[in-house]
Chain A
Amino acid sequence: MMQEEVNEATSVLSIYGHTIKVTEVLQDGDTLTFIIVSQKLSGTGEYHVDRTYEDFEWLQQHLYAQEDVPGLQGVIFPPLPVRPQVNASAKVMKQLGFLGLGEWQPYCKALETFLRQVAAHSILRKNKAVEVFLTSTDPPGRQKLRRNIFNRLSQAVEGLRKEGHKDVDEFFHTERDHNLVLTGHTRTAAEKFLDVVLTEQKIAVACGHFAAALHICVENGEDPEKKAFSRVCVKLSQVFDSIKKNMTSIAVNDMNTLGLALDLGSRYLEAEKEMLFRRTCKLVELENARKNAERAKPVKKNAMEEVKKAAEGEFEQICKVAKQEIVQLNQERVEMLQKNLIQWCEQQLQTAKEGADAYNQHLQAFIAMA
């Protein structure tokens, strides 16, 4: 989700947000280190920093914990991917989904997207933590993370009760329902697509095995019969090699475009869900405050009124920000899906053409042999 508009207000960030790249990932035993490169605003060069997943989490916590930002809870925070694990268990792999495929390239891409979105977000980019994260050569503090409201809100117990809470606002009400449906479907689509990609990879491997097995059948000898047979085997093996290549690139295309898009989409929808949930919690709080204020004894009345007013004020802020965010999210989501679908189709078309060419050549070769 890239916001191309540049914030006119003093931006704390000294780099171009859209130039952030996660260029490499180094694996050191069990830890993964990511190299992040970004272009300086002043045009004098680049920042190179290396970060681990803990650093990302640090950043995220700082973003969550900002004080004095009105309506922060209405912000849909760009989702950080799940912690990567080397030699992950099956469950973790399932969680990672597309991001666990390949040699962490999709994962890097996801991190990159995360950073770009943070840098592009009008509210979030102002956080100093972002600047520190992207530019300082020392890894930002890896100290224990402070408890904050978001940790608390992730507790499941309250969540279930409050999720069904009726909303006062029509817009938000429909949005909540819609979000629920969409999240489910997007996640299912992402999972099924992952299945498809995995199967494609398996086919590629099997083709490779077949090609290798055919090579075993090749025998040396002067016998023209044997020679002929060997030649056929070799040719057939080549054919299957190209089938394998084709399949592999199909899988890669899938992964890089639609796969990532679906994955990102589903994570963003989850983030939206969380935001809406926060808002709902605030709503509940507000209603409680109102009730308290009404029922309060004169002694406490003023205090209650204060609380109520504060709650109302917060709630309004949240709603305002939330509305903006939601509208923006929907728009950008559609754009992203569209872009990725187009890219996917183009890449698959390209691969198919190449495959057709290769097969044609093989066919001609076989005809010539006959």
Chain B
Amino acid sequence: MKLGFFTQRYCTVEVSHRCLRTQEWRTSRGRCSRPPFLIPSLPPGTLSLTTRAMASSSDRNPPPFSVSEQSEPGLSDMADGDSDDGEDIFVSNSFQNHPASVSRGVSQPEVAADLFSEEATAAKPNGVHSDDDDDDLFAEAQADLSSDTSGSSARKDLSTSSGLLSARSPADLLPTSLEQLEEEEAKDSFDVDVAVTNPEKVGDGMNAYVAYKVSTRTSLPVFKSKVFTARRRFSDFLGLYEKLSAKQSLHGCIIPPPPEKSLVGMTKVKVSMDDPSSVEFVEKRRAALERYLQRIVSHPLLLQDPDVREFLEREDLPRAVNTQAFSGAGFLKMINRASDAVSKMTIKMNESDSWFEDKFQEVDMEEQQLRKLQAVVDSLVNHRKELCVNTAVFAKSIAMLGNSEDNTALSRALSQLAEVEDKMEQLHQEQAGSDFFIFAELLADYIRLLGAVRGCFDQRVRAWQRWQEAQSTLQKKREAEAKLLWANKPDKLQQAKEEITEWETKVTQYERDFDRIGMTVRKEVLRFE
């Protein structure tokens, strides 16, 4: 079945991104289908079909997480074993290898679904229809991709960014005729690239804050210009997050969590900008903010959001309030509280879709593991710091000993030893710093992300509950109507009927909401992986 109102059209996209490590902009050209923003929104039915196909496929063959990224040359020259920065992976997503296939791949799942399923029902997706054909798709896709899969630096951090391409990869090889069909989202043409740079201290004393320069390069027509910058401060970022999470339409999306507030760090910065520990803090924060923005712009739905665009473009944002809630521990607590509240609600959700349950378990387990790792890394970093301190003290005591020695040769030797130990202390400090940067931050980041994933699962549960409540209310109204009918009170009857119709619509709407959320969640999770 062809959906007639889409026509085959390509436009060339210049994808530019900046490698965080080498600080240079790289561009590449790729062809992609029409950008999502210009497509009229599809009727809800199509949506469900879309996800159904993807869901079914994900049941049997979790998409081989795209490795086209890894084969990118930019990554290969920075494989410092385990000292890779997570940041690098996020920034240097490149489309140098498979721009075309990427775009083609995107259209596939939806198209496949369109071919196979009939109508939009709100039934839970079951992969029954699309199974066989999807099988073939994946067989081919696997064959193709296996050549790409060069070993793997598919570490945890890569899995997130490679999620960008995961939606495409399974159906990489569907015949080009299907390409004619356009689809709306789930296509990351990396047209937007953001960088956060130049932290500057603005103001004085306790009212000082650090302003970051947010620069964007894009070729999307929806933005006013190709390159623009804006100055933002940390609370602006938090405000953006708050706005995004409050939006109903984004329910079910995994909204990337912002970096944490830190009272200690900020106070240090306010006091002095030159202090090495505050420099480190600012640097960490800058990197985290950049990662945060990268994640946001690479999420197609979020990119459509006017708030995001405003954030990137506008000169001055109104000062965001209510950001106290977002201190790091507070954030996690918030998520946990929310999920606790949900689980305590009276109507317990029957998870009739095992996919969700499995995924949830997975996410949970992953989070546990990450927490354990984080604890270990934390202790390692602490020990290293301790070593720094101890080495310094030792160096001093050796120096004193050297001074008090009569024998000049020995004295000299000891003083030199003291100097060497001093240098070693520097080294150790560096090591501790880099350990921290790389491992601990990464892990903390991931844990936060997983928390966000859980939050999105929760939203789904809440939607379901709303739906159920609406249904039971409807039931009651119907009973009331029946009673009235029996008692023969025509005017009340009319009112009851109206109420019923009203509730019926509500029920259907909630149901649809629930499904929509369900699908979004699925898509999101796949993207995330």
State the A residues within 8 Å of B (CB). 178, 181-182, 185-186, 188-189, 191-193, 195-196, 199-200, 202-203, 206-207, 209-210, 213-214, 216-217, 223-225, 227-229, 231-232, 235-236, 239, 330, 334, 337-338, 341, 362-363, 365-370
Complex CA gap A330/B307 in Å reads 78
Nearest CB on A from B408, distance (A): 10
Q: Is the interface of B mostly helix, strand, loop or mixed?
A: helix
Check if B136 is an interface residue, CB within 8 A of chain A: no
A–B pairs, 25, beta carbons within 8 Å = A178-B404, A178-B406, A182-B404, A185-B397, A188-B401, A192-B390, A192-B397, A193-B394, A196-B387, A206-B380, A213-B372, A224-B146, A225-B62, A225-B152, A225-B154, A232-B152, A235-B81, A330-B407, A338-B413, A363-B80, A367-B76, A367-B81, A369-B79, A370-B76, A370-B151
State the B residues within 8 Å of A (CB). 62, 64-65, 70, 75-76, 79-82, 146, 149-156, 159, 369, 372-373, 376-377, 379-380, 383-384, 386-387, 390-391, 393-394, 396-398, 400-401, 404-407, 409-410, 413, 417, 529
Q: Which residues of chain A are within 8 angstroms of B159 by Cβ–Cβ distance?
A: 225, 229
With A185-B400, A209-B376, A370-B79 in contact, do A225 and B64 touch (Cβ < 8 Å)? Answer: yes
Complex CA gap A231/B154 in Å reads 9
- Report yes or no: A217 in contact with B410, Cβ–Cβ below 8 A: no
Q: Which residues of chain B are within 8 angstroms of A330 by Cβ–Cβ distance?
A: 406-407
Nearest CB on B from A90, distance (A): 18
Complex CA gap A367/B75 in Å reads 10
Complex CA gap A200/B394 in Å reads 13
Complex CA gap A77/B239 in Å reads 75
Given contacts A213-B369, A213-B373, A229-B156, 13 further A-B contacts (CB under 8 A): A186-B401, A199-B390, A223-B64, A225-B64, A228-B152, A229-B154, A232-B155, A235-B82, A239-B81, A330-B406, A334-B409, A338-B413, A366-B153
Residue of B nearest to A236 (CB): B82
Q: Which 7 A-B pairs have the closest CB atoms?
A: A228-B152, A366-B81, A370-B79, A228-B154, A192-B394, A206-B380, A369-B151
With A209-B379, A334-B410, A369-B151 in contact, do A185 and B387 touch (Cβ < 8 Å)? Answer: no
Residue of B nearest to A196 (CB): B390
Complex CA gap A97/B64 in Å reads 56
Nearest CB on A from B382, distance (A): 8
- Report yes or no: B383 in contact with A181, Cβ–Cβ below 8 A: no
Q: Which residues of chain B are within 8 angstroms of A185 by Cβ–Cβ distance?
A: 397, 400-401, 404
Complex CA gap A66/B525 in Å reads 85
Nearest CB on A from B416, distance (A): 10
Complex CA gap A178/B406 in Å reads 9
Q: Which residues of chain A are within 8 angstroms of B373 by Cβ–Cβ distance?
A: 210, 213-214, 217
Residue of A nearest to B407 (CB): A334
Residue of B nearest to A201 (CB): B383
Q: Which residues of chain A are within 8 angstroms of B379 by Cβ–Cβ distance?
A: 206, 209
Complex CA gap A316/B153 in Å reads 79
Complex CA gap A227/B65 in Å reads 11
- Report yes or no: B80 in contact with A210, Cβ–Cβ below 8 A: no
Q: Which residues of chain B are within 8 angstroms of A368 by Cβ–Cβ distance?
A: 151
Residue of B nearest to A197 (CB): B390
With A199-B390, A224-B149, A228-B154 in contact, do A207 and B417 touch (Cβ < 8 Å)? Answer: no
Q: Which residues of chain A are within 8 angstroms of B380 by Cβ–Cβ distance?
A: 203, 206-207, 209-210
- Report yes or no: A362 in contact with B81, Cβ–Cβ below 8 A: yes
